[in-house]
Amino acid sequence: MKQVQIIMGTPVAVEIVDREANQKLFDEVFDYFKYVDEKFSTYKDTSEISAINNKKNKGENTQNIFGGMSKDMKVVFELSLETKKITNGYFDIITPSGSYDTSGLVKGWAIFNASNILKTRGVKNFCVEAGGDIQVSGRNEKGEAWSIGIQNPFNKKREIIKKVYLGNNEGIATSGTYVRGCHIYNPKDKNDKLEEVVSLTVIGSNIFEADRYATGAFAMGQNGIFFIESKENLEGYAIDKNGVATMTIGFKKYIKE
């Protein structure tokens, strides 16, 4: 049973294979995504992140801003700081204009938490996807490892250029500049247009890890795939502007079922 809703400005798809799938489960997951969107969307004036940015723009004391945050906001800010550290500063929620934008991490975090809601409810076989970032659990409808296609960054159709099979509850995330122009920037070099690599897919032990490392490593340009190679439990597939893909050594194990 699969359902799609548009939340966070992107299609969120939930597929539950277990026979216990019911509307309540779907609603609970979608409601969680709506809650995250209400809190973290920079597109919404009413969101907590917008309120924080307003305060910041007015020059309010950072200590005051941090003190007034909700628990989840604090968690996301802490995780962002941690991610900045482990990506050597390439992941940063402070945009070039000086405001906070947590979207490089919050989607993966939300998918991760949504998946845990399903696990807590006893669901074993499912797939949660939001805007091309995916967490799988158990097996697909055919009882096989989940098959995921990596989208062709050069084609507007949803064409696939690589198939991977995830059978161990992995998360997979893709960062790229091809869909909405350059939305990731290099915090260390504002003039770096990140034109060399057009797409970087990362497979991790869960979607939170995959998503934050995909964003951070993408900002490293051509060095990103080597950074992923240097990390245990992460594998990657990068596509450059000439259509040449480079994969980490361990990525091979995901290509064959």
The least CB distance from residue 59 to another protein, in Å, is 27
The 3 state secondary structure assigned to 13-37 is EEEECCCCCCHHHHHHHHHHHHHHH
Q: Which residue's CB is nearer to another protein, number 58 or number 156?
A: 156
Q: Which residue's CB is nearer to another protein, number 61 or number 160?
A: 160
Q: Which residue's CB is nearer to another protein, number 60 or number 144?
A: 144
* Residues forming a β-bridge with 126: 16, 137
The least CB distance from residue 188 to another protein, in Å, is 21
Q: Which residue's CB is nearer to another protein, number 65 or number 214?
A: 214
Q: Which residue's CB is nearer to another protein, number 190 or number 244?
A: 244
The least CB distance from residue 212 to another protein, in Å, is 10
Q: Which residues 6+ apart lie within 8 Å of 191 measured at CB?
A: none
Q: What are phi and psi of 104, to 5 degrees?
A: -70, -10
Q: Which residue's CB is nearer to another protein, number 58 or number 158?
A: 158
The least CB distance from residue 56 to another protein, in Å, is 21
Query: In this structure, which long-range contacts are made by residues 31-37, counting pairs with CB atoms below 8 Å and at least 24 apart in sequence?
Result: 32/110, 32/113, 32/114, 32/117, 33/5, 33/7, 33/8, 33/110, 33/114, 33/130, 34/7, 36/8, 36/72, 36/106, 36/109, 36/110, 36/113, 37/7, 37/8
The least CB distance from residue 87 to another protein, in Å, is 13
What is the CA 224 to chain-centroid distance, rounded?
Answer: 16
The least CB distance from residue 253 to another protein, in Å, is 13
The SS3 call for residue 219 is coil
Q: Which residue's CB is nearer to another protein, number 32 or number 91?
A: 32
The least CB distance from residue 139 to another protein, in Å, is 10
Dihedral Cα 33, 168, 131, 238, nearest 10 deg: 150
Closest by CA to 182, choosing from 192, 170, 171, is: 192
What is the CA 176 to chain-centroid distance, rounded?
Answer: 11
